[in-house]
Amino acid sequence: MHQHMKAAEFEHDNRLLMQVESLAYRYPDGTQALAGINLQVRAGDRIALVGHNGSGKTTLVKQLCGLLLPDAGSVTYKGAQFVGAHLASARLEIGLLFQDPDDQLFGNSLYEDVAFGPRNQGQSEVDVDLAVRQALKAVGLEALMFKPPHALSYGQKKRAALAGLLAMRPSLLILDEPTANLDSVQEQIFLDLLKNYAGTLILISHDLIFLYELCERALVLDSGRVHHDYPLKELVAHRPSLREHGLDFSFRFAESRQKAETVAVERRKFAHKIELDVSAGSRSSALVDVRSLSYRYPDGTQALKEIDLAIKPSERLALVGANGAGKSTLLMCLLGIFPFSGEYRFAGKKILPGKGRAVWRQTGMVFQDCADQLVCPSCYDEVAFAPRQFGVAEEQVRERVELALKMVKLDGFEERVPLHLSGGERKRLALASVLSLQPQLLILDEPTAGLDPQGEELLLDILSEIDATLILVSHDIFFVRELTQRTLVMHAGEIALDYSTKSFFADKNLTSLNGLDYTYRDRCALQIRELQHRHEHAHPHRHLHEHSHRHGDLVHRHPHEHQHEHEHSYVHRHADQGAHQHPIQNEYHEHDHPAHEEDDHDHAH
């Protein structure tokens, strides 16, 4: 499916590549973003940059590549600070992948975008062409090199942005949430490419398994300061540290809940409590009724093909499939934004293509990137915006704003500036801004993207309490299981499968449909859980050894007791209160002691 680029040749002599000393930075509004940052990056380092949403991770990496300059302290790269000609040359050697690929794709075609960096490096057109083709081939987009970036799926855009960096062969590569919103196939593409990358790597992510595969060192930020700088393995194995920094995802494990099935039913208390027969029943009562719906992109690409779909009031439905399968496009059609062909009725009323006003008043959607829908100067105005547009009386607007902010745990945030909030807070604010409409239909497009585990758990609790018909688009199968009772699998613009969520999880043949491993995240979480249960301890312990002794002409063997201290690895189990217990040990430890026989022994006889 994809091929590796030939790894660039970098000198890994452990030389100091970058040094940060007493770095401090404030946002334009005066908010302290970073303070007292001290760190060293050496050639060949592979660093995981982690912490709560809003801890300063993205701001720090913008300092590390010269996009932002410090208010105090210094950042030096290869021995010099980011000023003048050195800053200009450093930007050609340091690659930064933004969380949103639209922030760095601006050309008329993928070829032009990927060629931009090598051309600025002064490469010849022959070398530029070779670099572009190699980079696009590496990310599996060679066949799309002359396609405009805006016509790509989100996952394809993400890979295209990475190709633009790889074509420059950077000595330092920085990636901000590279796997957010990606399906498991595209995550694997990123993983393979980055394993093969020969330079220095800094990764921002909440995906601990992804980080564990690639990084050796963890840099933990907390409120703009370096809280920990130590081996990643130590962080991942220490649950108290993960909890402290919002990275503990134990809420995803059945054993961490008292009775998993009971909790799952409670979470879905507004959902139907019967098995759905999705192929039968009257469509006259459907909230959403779509027949033979199709859509083509402006360039003629067929995006949706003859979609038939009925969604009943209060139903909770998941929409899953690979990046580019047509999920987000279908949502745009259901909102009446894209000019589809076919028949569409919402609450019994016919909706004309591109004429979605009747839908908008009764439907709320939270976009993948919630910054796309936050437009007001304060949180209060943001949540009040939609009701005001539909003529709701100001007194009712105030009541709705107060209720919506309380529902998403943002009460007291009324005067805060939306774009100054953390990623998790912005996501919840976007949700509040649609809840204030009191919608019949709530649409969530990748709601967990970019959230730390603490934010995911809070969002799950909030969504469990919302009484509305739900369409959930997500690669996060845990959320699908917890929040929905019906699942649609999309493939190549069509609904390939439509069945109960219970049947979806029981289907063993899904991978053959589009190559996606829908249980990937569950298995990854279990791997981390197993790692957390494995500890090494050093303590004095006794061994019995038997070896030969010579007394004159007499040689005999008998056991001797020795005491040693070295590491032992235990797999432990957790008691109800969270403490862990190690297995009962024998009086004597049984394992090999190489070269022990050659040691001098002095025993009483």
| Claim to verify: residue 308 and residue 446 sit in the same structural domain | yes
* Number of Cα atoms under 13 Å in the Cβ half of residue 557: 6
Residue 5 lies in a domain: no
483-538 per-position pLDDT tens digit: 999 999 999 899 999 989 999 888 877 665 555 665 555 565 666 666 666 644 44
The count of domains in the chain is: 3
Residue 476 lies in a domain: yes
| Claim to verify: residue 481 and residue 537 sit in the same structural domain | no
Report how far residue 90's alpha carbon sits from residue 101's, in angstroms, rounded to the nearest whole number.
22
| Claim to verify: residue 282 and residue 231 sit in the same structural domain | no
pLDDT (average), residues 289-301: 91
Report how far residue 25's alpha carbon sits from residue 497's, in angstroms, rounded to the nearest whole number.
51
| pLDDT on residue 207 | 82
Answer whether residue 330 shows pLDDT above 90: yes
Answer with the one of 247, 275, 295 that is the final residue of a domain: 247
| Claim to verify: residue 75 and residue 193 sit in the same structural domain | yes
User: What domain range includes position 581?
Assistant: 533-598
Answer with the one of 524, 547, 566 that is the final residue of a domain: 524
| Claim to verify: residue 517 and residue 543 sit in the same structural domain | no
- For residue 348, give the amino acid letter: G
| pLDDT on residue 376 | 94
3-state secondary structure of 397: helix
Structure tokens at 341: 């062909």
| Claim to verify: residue 223 and residue 318 sit in the same structural domain | no
pLDDT (average), residues 314-326: 90
Lowest mean pLDDT among 87-91, 238-242, 289-293: 238-242
pLDDT (average), residues 205-217: 87
- State the CATH number of the domain containing residue 344: 3.40.50.300
| Claim to verify: residue 122 and residue 228 sit in the same structural domain | yes
| pLDDT on residue 1 | 41
Answer whether residue 576 shows pLDDT above 50: no
Answer with the one of 507, 524, 541 that is the final residue of a domain: 524
**CB-based contacts of 32: which residues, under 8 Å, 6+ apart?**
24, 26, 224
Confidence (pTM): 0.71
| Claim to verify: residue 233 and residue 267 sit in the same structural domain | no
Please check whether residue 16 is in contact with residue 42, taking contact to mean a CB–CB distance below 8 angstroms.
Answer: yes
11-28 per-position pLDDT tens digit: 556 799 999 999 999 988
Residue 347 lies in a domain: yes
Structure tokens at 314: 């209060």
| Claim to verify: residue 446 and residue 353 sit in the same structural domain | yes
| pLDDT on residue 593 | 57
Structure tokens at 252: 């995803």
Q: Is 405 exposed, middle or buried (0-12, 13-18, 19+ CB in 10 A)?
A: buried
**Over the range 446-480, which residues count as b (16 or more CB within 10 Å of their CB) and which as e?**
bbbbbbbbbbbbbbbebbbebebbbbbbbbbbbbb
pLDDT (average), residues 543-556: 61
| Claim to verify: residue 175 and residue 289 sit in the same structural domain | no
| Claim to verify: residue 276 and residue 159 sit in the same structural domain | no
Residue 458 lies in a domain: yes
Q: How many CB atoms lie within 10 A of CB 30?
A: 6
Report how far residue 23's alpha carbon sits from residue 59's, in angstroms, rounded to the nearest whole number.
12
Q: Predicted confidence band at 259 (pLDDT cuts at 50, 70, 90)?
A: very low
| Claim to verify: residue 304 and residue 205 sit in the same structural domain | no
Share in percent of the chain as helix, strand, coil (round to 5): 35, 25, 40
Report how far residue 405's alpha carbon sits from residue 526's, in angstroms, rounded to the nearest whole number.
34
Q: Are strands 341-346 and 441-445 parallel, antiparallel or unpaired?
A: unpaired
